[in-house]
């Protein structure tokens, strides 16, 4: 007696290759739909929508949609005015101190576009051809240091000399002398007062930036100086 074999059952559903093919066709279709949609942008409607965002009052009053994340223009102006008032007040305080202690002939304080500029003649700070701060200068520099403790501004200290050449064991030229004097003033202020050292910049100009021509002993004395600039944040060095 012959036994009939049943034919193998065919798998249900579509062939396996059909799934991959369908995915590929779908991706291609989506790609062409995106291309089509991008090519059909109504430029008039797009500009109208962009203009509507510009006219929103929220963007005029707050530069960021997240409240308080960025300061508004009004807040920036208020901050700038506070800094301006702070520097002007500092200049007046220093001027008053100089007047009360009879130092107006050897030191000045002015408010300029650079900030508050203190010009200190050599004889109030150093011996001739030396960069060690004399003890007589301690009270004055300490007073300046107290005023600067609350100021976050960059403090630039510049050393200047007259045009007479110098050459000794410590300072081969006026470049080294002027740089050393600027550094000595910074070291005194940072060692004796709570001022972040990162706020300081020391520069030595030698005899390259005289206040007056080096044609007399009096003029040379004016050119031998240290300038302390409490910089205005709005000011940018041009050189």
Q: What is the pLDDT of residue 56?
A: 54
**How is 145-161 classified by DSSP, letter by letter?**
HHHHTT--S-EEEEEE-
pLDDT at position 59 = 47
**Superfamily holding 73-231:** OmpA-like domain (3.30.1330.60)
| pLDDT averaged per 10 residues, the chain (length 239) | 60 67 80 70 61 55 53 68 81 91 91 94 94 95 93 95 91 96 97 95 97 96 96 80
Look at residue 58 in the predicted model and tell me its pLDDT. Answer: 47
CA pair distance 173, 154, nearest whole angstrom: 28
Residues 6+ apart with CB under 8 A from 116: 87, 90, 91, 94, 109, 110, 229, 230
Tokens read off for 164: 């007479």
């Amino acid at each position: 007696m012959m036994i009939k074999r049943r034919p193998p059952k065919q798998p249900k559903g579509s062939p396996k290759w059909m799934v991959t093919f369908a995915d590929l066709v779908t991706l291609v279709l989506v790609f062409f739909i995106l291309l089509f949609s991008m090519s059909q942008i109504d430029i008039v409607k797009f500009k109208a929508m962009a203009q509507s965002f510009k006219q929103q009052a929220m963007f005029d009053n707050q530069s960021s949609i997240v409240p308080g994340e960025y300061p508004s223009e009004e807040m920036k102006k208020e901050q700038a005015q506070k800094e301006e008032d702070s520097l002007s007040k500092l200049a007046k305080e220093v001027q008053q101190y100089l007047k009360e202690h009879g130092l107006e002939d050897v030191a000045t304080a002015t408010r300029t576009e650079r900030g508050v500029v203190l010009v200190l003649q050599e004889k109030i700070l150093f011996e001739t051809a030396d960069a060690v701060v004399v003890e007589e200068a301690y009270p004055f520099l300490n007073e300046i240091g107290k005023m600067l403790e609350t100021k976050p501004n960059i403090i630039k200290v510049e050393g200047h000399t007259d045009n007479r050449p110098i050459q000794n064991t410590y300072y081969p030229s006026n470049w080294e002398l002027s740089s050393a004097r600027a550094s000595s003033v910074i070291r005194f202020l940072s060692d004796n007062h709570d001022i972040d050292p990162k706020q300081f910049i020391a520069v030595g100009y030698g005899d390259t930036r005289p206040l007056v021509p080096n044609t007399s002993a009096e003029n040379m004395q004016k050119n031998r100086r240290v300038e302390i600039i409490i910089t205005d944040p709005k000011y940018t060095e041009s050189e």
